[in-house]
Structure 1
Amino acid sequence: MTSVDRPTVMVTNDDGIDAAGLQSLVRVLVSSGRYNVQVCAPDAERSAVSHSITWRHPLAARRVNVEGAIAFAVAGTPADCTSLGISKALFPSVADLVISGINMGSNCGYNIVYSGTVAGAREAFFNGVPSISISYDWVGGISSVQDYTLAAEACLPIIGSILSEIKKSSYPRNCFLNVDLPTDVANHKGYKLTKQGRSTNQVGWEPMTSDMHGRQMLSTMATTMSQEHLLFKRVRGAQVDDADRRSLKEGFITVMPLDALSPANVECETFFKDWLPKVA
């Protein structure tokens, strides 16, 4: 298959262009010989920025070396990178498919709202380009960098099938996919269709003094700190699970169609339908 005949895939992420997840995904895509690969990703980590975009100042993009791909590092968010990458301002053509990932850590439940990885795929969806976000359920002390390669290889059938449906003009355009791979990806139990649950990390806050974790503080912050400033840091608590995360923990590769909209559930709609006339 010549480069002219191959479909084009654009890769972005929120962990930064040098992240092992993105690099592994690109290597697998390139080595398959099936795709032209573009990369347009943040020049540094932009995790948990959700769907924020750069609006008031220009974005800097620089050409970088990613073997087998045409690649740019961008001083922006994942949504910025996708928007720029599919605009024809950076690449001569719009990719057939945008893939955001592979993220270091799963994206299930309410965490999807915070995710820059998911936003990278959602931005493509906003612009009518089919997209997938891919995340690996990394666990420190258990996972290894090689797992990203296994995760990418496990997603190749999904990627190939989507592009086949796109070519036939039979792929749905009113959703995008969020894919999560289990920690023990080498022994996964196959694909499982899921819906977004309500799982999230319970987050608390604890106060800090200006001398606590001083090495982690920016010098500018330290010099401006006074008794009028209060300093806090996030503390991650227990994980609250739901069906989508449970399926992932059971060893399935979860495949979740998502829409940009978040309609309220029927119970809420019913309440407000009765409530609003009474307000007046």
Structure 2
Amino acid sequence: MEEAGSRRPTIMVTNDDGIDAPGLRALVNVLVSTHQVNVLVCAPDQEMSAASHSVTWARPLSVKQVDIDGATAFAVSGTPADCTSLGISKALFPSVPDLVISGINKGSNCGYHIIYSGTVAGAREACLNGVPSLSVSYNWYGGYSKEKMEKELSDGGQKSDVHDFKLAAEACLPLIIAVVSEIRNNTYPQGCFLNVDLPTDVTDHKGFKLTKQGGSSIKLGWKQVTSNMQRSKMGTVTDTSASQEHLFFCREIMRPQVDDGDSDYRFLQEGYITVTPLGALSPAESGPQAYFQDWLSSVVDTKL
């Protein structure tokens, strides 16, 4: 990276909702409007939610330039991790961006959801390659189905609106600018990235809160259905024809498991913008580590 003040920093934006998603477009528009950064976009050409850190290996990626005002943008037939990897490789853009931002995702990414998240994977891939990164998600309220939305609204919630993505982008802009400043001063820490979640009522947020990844999750099950139904993230259900020889199963939400401890999910629900440092590695906790230290020494003597 060049010395501070010698050039405008470059931010590359990716996501898992697809290049046309309102969260990505809002973030790009807000970044461009600052006139302080160069903005690149390298994002999936279709929705890739819950792709986690999957990568494309056996086939080439198709890449098409897309018109986004103020940015140089490409849509890619790959996963979020693919997009980040390609975007920072110098194969697509002439230089490595100073910062990668993955988002803004429609829906929070706290607790165990981080494992499944393609949004988080987009930032993690940059971290694996030594490029500073953020993953950013907005706690969209209203659900992806009519039934879930009606229940949330009856419980006193307020339905989210597409305009909220612009508000979310503006709310996290001070954090982005501060990170860029640290990068340019060569004081930003290596070997980690930040996972940022914005609360539903983002206009009245309580400020930034440094948190840790908790254990909240939604347990998923399976339900057999009569046809090949495909549900998009926006709630649209498509019924595609298929042979009677096949059985079809859809995911269904069984029950949420909430971590009430001092964690990302708790503070997000309290109205904070949570900032959670994450590493690319996933070491076991100290208890299992100690157990297996003793256990491994006895393995050679084990007989069936």
Q: What TM-score, normalized by structure 1, do the two folds share?
A: 0.93
Q: 1:101 aligns with which of 103, 114, 120?
A: 103
In structure 2, relative to structure 1, the CA distance for the partners of 1:268 and 1:29 (3 Å cut) is same
Partner amino acid for 2:75?
Answer: A
Is 1:267 matched with 2:287?
A: yes
Displacement of 1:216 in angstroms is 2.7
Displacement of 1:270 in angstroms is 1.4
Displacement of 1:86 in angstroms is 0.7
In structure 2, relative to structure 1, the CA distance for the partners of 1:25 and 1:204 (3 Å cut) is same
SS of aligned partner of 1:33 = coil
Query: What CA RMSD, in Å, does the superposition of the two structures yield over aligned residues?
Result: 1.8
Partner amino acid for 1:274?
Answer: D
Partner amino acid for 1:139?
Answer: Y
In structure 2, relative to structure 1, the CA distance for the partners of 1:213 and 1:125 (3 Å cut) is closer
Determine the structure 2 residue equivalent to 1:183. 200
SS of aligned partner of 1:107 = coil
Q: 2:94 aligns with which of 86, 92, 95?
A: 92
| Separation of aligned partners in 2, 1:53 and 1:18 | 21
Determine the structure 1 residue equivalent to 2:154. none
Is 1:158 matched with 2:160?
A: no
In structure 2, relative to structure 1, the CA distance for the partners of 1:144 and 1:211 (3 Å cut) is closer
Structure 1: tracts of 5 or more residues without a match: none
Q: Which aligned pairs between 1:240-251 and structure 2 lie closer than 5 A?
A: 240-242=257-259, 243-251=263-271
Displacement of 1:238 in angstroms is 2.5
Q: 2:26 aligns with which of 24, 38, 46?
A: 24
Partner amino acid for 1:161?
Answer: A
Is 1:198 matched with 2:215?
A: yes
Deviations along 1:232-260, one digit per CA (max 9) or x if unpaired, are 21111332122211110110000000001
Mapped contact 2:19–2:45 kept (Cα < 8 A): yes
Partner amino acid for 1:149?
Answer: K
Deviations along 1:122-176, one digit per CA (max 9) or x if unpaired, are 1111111000000000011611111111111111111111111111111001100
Which shows bigger deviation, 232-241 or 154-163?
232-241
Partner amino acid for 2:170?
Answer: E
Determine the structure 2 residue equivalent to 1:39. 41
| Separation of aligned partners in 1, 2:227 and 2:133 | 44
Mapped contact 2:228–2:240 kept (Cα < 8 A): no
SS of aligned partner of 2:268 = helix
| Separation of aligned partners in 1, 2:128 and 2:110 | 21
Displacement of 1:210 in angstroms is 3.6
Mapped contact 2:222–2:252 kept (Cα < 8 A): yes
Partner amino acid for 1:244?
Answer: D
Determine the structure 2 residue equivalent to 1:235. 252
| Separation of aligned partners in 2, 1:89 and 1:4 | 24
Determine the structure 2 residue equivalent to 1:258. 278
SS of aligned partner of 2:36 = coil
Q: 2:13 aligns with which of 11, 14, 18?
A: 11
Runs ≥4 residues deviating over 3 A:
210-215
| Separation of aligned partners in 1, 2:206 and 2:187 | 27
| Separation of aligned partners in 1, 2:292 and 2:120 | 30
Partner amino acid for 1:8?
Answer: T
The number of residue pairs the alignment matches comes to 273
SS of aligned partner of 1:73 = strand
In structure 2, relative to structure 1, the CA distance for the partners of 1:68 and 1:4 (3 Å cut) is farther
Partner amino acid for 2:273?
Answer: I
Q: 1:125 aligns with which of 116, 124, 127?
A: 127
Mapped contact 2:44–2:83 kept (Cα < 8 A): yes
Deviations along 1:18-76, one digit per CA (max 9) or x if unpaired, are 00000000000000111100000001100000001111111111111000000001111
Partner amino acid for 2:57?
Answer: W
Q: What TM-score, normalized by structure 2, do the two folds share?
A: 0.86
Displacement of 1:211 in angstroms is 8.5
Deviations along 1:161-219, one digit per CA (max 9) or x if unpaired, are 11111111110011001000000111000111111111111112122224989973333
In structure 2, relative to structure 1, the CA distance for the partners of 1:92 and 1:211 (3 Å cut) is closer
